[in-house]
Structure 1
């Protein structure tokens, strides 16, 4: 089993603090969702786990080891893959070239997203938003990472492709953490861990089913402590 967590993590952007000492944990194989509106800190939390932003306090712990000081490229070498919301593909390269950077054989990617098969010669920068997400996620599938971090994986996708994407992510032999504004319909009733963030603080941690009950109960519903 793989585990990764932020422990009492704080992140500052100049005078502004984006994360206020949050603790969130994820384990795999399995799916964890960081929920929150824009400005909640969910993207910053992903980037902190990946080493793309530095903590001003707290720690990143991966499989029991403190990796706070380990740079992003070394975390990637150890098996961590980050798929950001923007600039997740090499726009000047073709779809084929993007896939070949991840693995010499990319049949798995074309099985996951057959539409990419007809786009292999296209420059990635000319693809639609949804097609670029398919390509970025295909590269993550090919990476065979131990930890996969994805910011808004289904952005720009049709409901059917979005559902397929979550099936693929759920089936990975990895610790998968996704950041979303709201709980994806395909995860309702499924075994997934949820952390909800608001203004840089964790306001709920628990199973997806608990989160649904809390949301249905409205503002008076109870929440779990992180």
Structure 2
């Protein structure tokens, strides 16, 4: 039974400093969960803790009811978790086509080009030579192709034009997965849920602690 992914009483240290102070938050299956916060709030650390790329010093990571705290990032990936970090999210030395092909279980990356036609003329170029927005398109395309059960993305629309950003949030919202995004502000396209659209939940972090949890409609627009 798919329940989603969550942190329970999670502590994370970065050197002598504690980055997460015993936080608890849940990202239910079939929803889009947004981790909101300024730089230094702990949102990126939270995403990495869920992915396993930073270890917990205390607490647990629970996925579909099972404790996966001790599972390494690769094991979580094999089990169906896809993590798109904010930096170095593509294989820079490989071509765009190779990046997409590696993410597709059957080697067919045509659905990625249907979602993002823009990288189509750039398939032979090395991914590291693309602009920031183009790299984000390739990185999110890899998440779309992975057919993962849990998709974690740190600032998915970074460097994208407003139109491409809106398309990106619609694509992520349409996934049959538990989607968790880290953002500084709540994107306009995620403020409301139309018929058949995934619900959007928000956890706002400040200085390594959760200060608000609720529905997207309860979050005030940034002034």
Q: State the match for 1:95 in structure 2.
A: 96
The partner residue of 2:185 within 182, 203, 226 is: 182
Q: State the match for 2:61 in structure 1.
A: 60
Q: State the match for 1:192 in structure 2.
A: 200
Deviates more, 1:188-197 or 1:121-130: 188-197
Q: Specify which structure has the higher proportion of helix.
A: 1
The whole-number CA distance in structure 2 between the counterparts of 1:96 and 1:19 is: 38
8 A Cα contact 1:195 1:204, kept in partner: yes
Q: How far did 1:188 drift?
A: 1.7
The whole-number CA distance in structure 2 between the counterparts of 1:129 and 1:40 is: 23
Matched, 1:203 2:211: yes
The partner residue of 1:123 within 118, 123, 126 is: 126
Q: SS at 1:182's partner residue?
A: coil
Q: SS at 1:85's partner residue?
A: coil
Q: SS at 1:108's partner residue?
A: helix
8 A Cα contact 2:3 2:65, kept in partner: no
Q: State the match for 1:49 in structure 2.
A: 50
Q: How far did 1:208 drift?
A: 0.4
The whole-number CA distance in structure 2 between the counterparts of 1:100 and 1:153 is: 20
Q: How far did 1:189 drift?
A: 2.2
Q: How far did 1:20 drift?
A: 0.3
| Structure 2 gaps, min length 5 | 194-198
The whole-number CA distance in structure 2 between the counterparts of 1:99 and 1:71 is: 24
Query: How large is the Cα RMSD of the aligned pairs?
Result: 1.2
The whole-number CA distance in structure 1 between the counterparts of 2:97 and 2:72 is: 29
**TM-score normalised per structure 2:** 0.94
The whole-number CA distance in structure 2 between the counterparts of 1:148 and 1:193 is: 15
Q: SS at 1:49's partner residue?
A: helix
